Amino acid sequence: MSSNKTIYQPNPEFAENAAIKSMDAYWALQNKAIEDYEGFWKTFADEKINWLAPYDQVLDESDAPFYKWFTNGKLNVSNQCIDRHLADKAEKTAILFEGDRGDVEHITYAQLSLRVNKMANLLRNEFGVLKGDRVVLYMPMIPEAAYAMLACARIGAIHSIVFGGFSAEALKDRIEDAEAKIVITADGAFRKGKPYMLKHVVDTALSEGGKSVEAVLVVKRNNEEVEWVEGRDHNYNELIVEQPAECPFELMDSEDPLFLLYTSGSTGKPKGVQHTNAGYILWAQMTMEWVFDVKGDDVFWCTADIGWITGHTYIVYGPLAAGTTTLMFEGVPTYPDAGRAWKMVQDHKITQFYTAPTAIRVLHKMGENEPEKYDLSSLKVLGTVGEPIDPPAWIWYYEAVGNSKCAIVDTWWQTETGGHIISPLPGATPIKPGCATLALPGIMTEILSLEGETKEVGEKGLLCITKPWPSMIRTIWGNPDRYISAYFGDVAKDGKPVYFSGDGAVLDEDGYITIVGRVDDVINVSGHRLGTAEIEAAVAKDNSVSEVAVVGRPHDIKGESIFIYIVLKEGHINTDIKNHINTLLGEEIGNIAKADHIIEVPGLPKTRSGKIMRRILRSIAKGEEITQDISTLEDPSIVEDIITKAREA
């Protein structure tokens, strides 16, 4: 096996035709951005966006950190993703859908246009959805989810997709925070050969709250029976037939919101990250071209769920803005067997494959030799996202899946960044496994201390983005103060607050950036972000719980798993605490928040001022020796008790 010190050079044949062909080309772009930041972005905004009215100013910093890009410019994202391609790509497949059971549908740009226009008319004419209204999507991975997103973009409504794995309670919270006017859902869909249901979750959410919702639009996918609330619920499949084929698009301002996407932070409730029209779509398209190098007849497959930012930017908006073919898959890559994903790569001649390290580890573990049974020669670029990738998983991906000829782009970014921030370029960057390498051209990152000082090579620090960028978060829906405190409240450089990501990182002697993981109270389970505070708040709802602390614990496959310490109220005994609490977490947040370890302890380690010492709890969860000084704790003996309990778990 190759040593993980090996540097993997770009495939020269690939590099010859790549959008960015060499490190010289990378530096030429990056230096242009350093010398003339606004000029750099102007060049690409003018080249890439179909402006319907010109913008005045590239970047307006007058109300920092509420940055504005391409002020007063007008565009429409559905025009950028569909209409403008109709002249030369009408018959090209826009969305290539494969269902769980192997059913395949090719949706051309012309068909996509028709369906999005009809859906936009349905929303606007039948339900009175207007520019600025919020539309919640609680959808499986079916093409109608993409139609709904683009239909919202067309009429200027703001979509907020809630991942289908979230519970009714979590859905209700998000509906209420956004004050959504309508919810679009489906009866359910298919997974692992069986129907599963979604609609009943919407029913439960709305029976408990969400009073702003006037209508629920239901797409029939698996045709299982669902309950129907007369007057509120509407059948998409019936209503869509009668809709006019053309829906004029709304002229959107660059800075009008395009969508909200709720994500977890280190404190409090999930926050509605707000993205805009122009900056977001520009960077979604540019990163498709630079990082995935899509062109010609490429068929791009991102395995994310549309409920996450990766699905927004790299299943729907980025690929369609770039005029490529995007594969959307309803099922899971390991069903009916560990070769499913590779069979799909072969069948559809996938050129770029983008997935999460957890999926790579699962596919590796379940079917180390599966890839060689299929013809994977169409692949050109492999991508990963969502969590750090360990060198063994990286090397298997590179050798077994990519046949040692495809670059692996380890893309670091966040819901808040809208698109890739740090990533190799497949035709240019020499790659070190497990390392996200360099900031993309136009993006200025630095690894800083809390005081804003630059960290030395080899020294861990806080990963910051020191200049605003077009696809950045604009605010948190309904909570601008939290936007400032969550992202611009920790680190200032030369007196000016800079965006701090919440991740730690380290620079090596070549200037490459390696991400070391979150430094705040956010855990990353299989690439899903969960705030410990959010999980703790859910557990604390249980009557028997007096105190709770949640930490992450390294996990071979999932990257991290959830580890919960619980102190019960006096007089309470719980013999099956793990099941009990996990059921509660399933109801309050969703199955993704279920813990691998839940232990009852006599107390939590606290300082004399009452602060819980999470570092100690993290060390115990990992089974590490406690090296911290515990003599200052209120009750040092508690640590021994907790260690004993943890060992038994």
The binding track of 501-520 with respect to ligand WTA, each residue x by CB under 6 A or -, is: xxx-----------x--x--
Question: Could you say whether residue 309 binds ligand WTA (CB under 6 A)?
Answer: yes
Nearest distance from residue 514's CB to ligand WTA, in Å?
9
Query: Which of 76, 160, 263, 346 is close enough to bind ligand WTA by CB under 6 A?
Result: 263
Among 413, 483, 487, 512, which residue sits at the site for ligand WTA (rule: CB under 6 A)? 413
**Residues paired with 506 in a beta bridge:** 514
CB of 515 to ligand WTA, least distance (A): 4
Q: Which amino acid is at 229?
A: V
Among the listed residues 180, 213, 376, 385, the single contact to ligand WTA using CB under 6 A:
385
Answer whether 306's CB lies under 8 Å from 355's CB.
no
Are the C-beta atoms of residues 134 and 260 closer than 8 Å to each other?
yes
Instruction: Specify the stretch interacting with ligand WTA by CB under 6 A; choose among 118-126, 158-166, 305-313, 596-604.
Output: 305-313
324 is a contact residue toward ligand WTA (CB under 6 A): no
Among 133, 250, 410, 560, binds ligand WTA (CB under 6 A): 410
> How many CB atoms neighbour CB 598 within 10 A?
23
Among 49, 107, 178, 436, binds ligand WTA (CB under 6 A): 436
- Is 252 within 8 Å of 72 (Cβ atoms)? no
Backbone angles phi, psi at 341, to 5 degrees: -60, -40
Q: Which residue is nearest to ligand WTA (CB)?
A: 415
Task: Choose between 273 and 376: whose C-beta lies nearer to ligand WTA.
Answer: 273
Q: Which helix (H) or strand (E) holds 37?
A: helix 37-48
Q: How far is the CB of 389 from ligand WTA (least distance, A)?
A: 7
Q: How many residues bind ligand WTA (CB under 6 A)?
A: 22
Distance CA 209, CA 223 (A): 27
Q: Please report, for residues 65, 278, 584, the alpha-carbon distance to residue 72 in angstroms, rounded to integers and kept in the order given.
A: 18, 10, 47
What's 387's DSSP letter?
S
User: CA geometry: angle at 100 spanning 99 and 104, to 5°?
Assistant: 25
Neighbouring-strand partners of residue 408: 382
Q: Binding of ligand WTA at residue 287 (CB under 6 A)?
A: no
**Interface pattern 523-542 for ligand WTA (x via CB under 6 A):** -x----x-------------
Which of the 8 DSSP states describes residue 396?
Answer: H
Distance between alpha carbon 49 and the CA centroid of its chain, in Å? 24
Query: Using CB under 6 A as the criterion, what x/- string covers residues 539-558 for binding ligand WTA?
Result: --------------------
Residue with Cβ nearer ligand WTA (331 or 386): 386
Please report, as residue ranges, which positions from 90 to 119 form the binding site for ligand WTA (by CB under 6 A): none
Stretch that binds ligand WTA, among 80-88, 307-315, 465-473, 544-552 (CB under 6 A): 307-315
**DSSP state string for 459-479:** --EEEEE-S--TTS--EETT-
Please report which helix (H) or strand (E) contains residue 120, including its range: helix 109-121
CA distance 488 to 495: 12
Residue 79 or 415 having the CB closest to ligand WTA: 415
| Cα–Cα nearest to 487, from 504, 469, 474, 506 | 474
Q: Can you tell me which of 371, 386, 419, 442 binds ligand WTA, judged by CB under 6 A?
A: 386
Structure tokens at 565: 């310490």
When binding is defined by CB under 6 A, the residue of 78, 310, 437, 561 that contacts ligand WTA is: 310
> Residue 507: which of 452, 461, 557 has the closest Cα?
461
Tell me if 184 contacts ligand WTA by CB under 6 A: no
Q: Which of 346, 415, 429, 437 binds ligand WTA (CB under 6 A)?
A: 415
Three-state DSSP state, 431: strand
If binding is defined by CB under 6 A, does position 177 make contact with ligand WTA?
no
Query: Which tokens go with 314?
Result: 């790299």
Q: Identify the residue among 140, 388, 433, 605 touching ligand WTA (CB under 6 A).
A: 388
Among 370, 387, 520, 534, binds ligand WTA (CB under 6 A): 387
Residue closer to ligand WTA by CB (options 30, 524) is 524
Alpha-carbon span 454 to 523, nearest angstrom: 26
Binding mask 475-504 for ligand WTA (x = CB under 6 A): --------------------------xxx-
Q: Is the CB of residue 480 less than 8 Å from the CB of residue 502? A: no
Q: Can you tell me the distance from the alpha carbon of 54 to that of 57, in angstroms, rounded to the nearest whole number?
A: 9
Distance between start and end Cα atoms, the chain: 35
CB 607 within 8 A of CB 632: yes
Kindly indicate which of the ranges 156-164, 206-214, 331-339, 384-392 contains the residues binding ligand WTA, using the contact rule CB under 6 A: 384-392
Residues interacting with ligand WTA, by CB under 6 A?
Answer: 263, 308-310, 385-388, 410-415, 436, 501-503, 515, 518, 524, 529
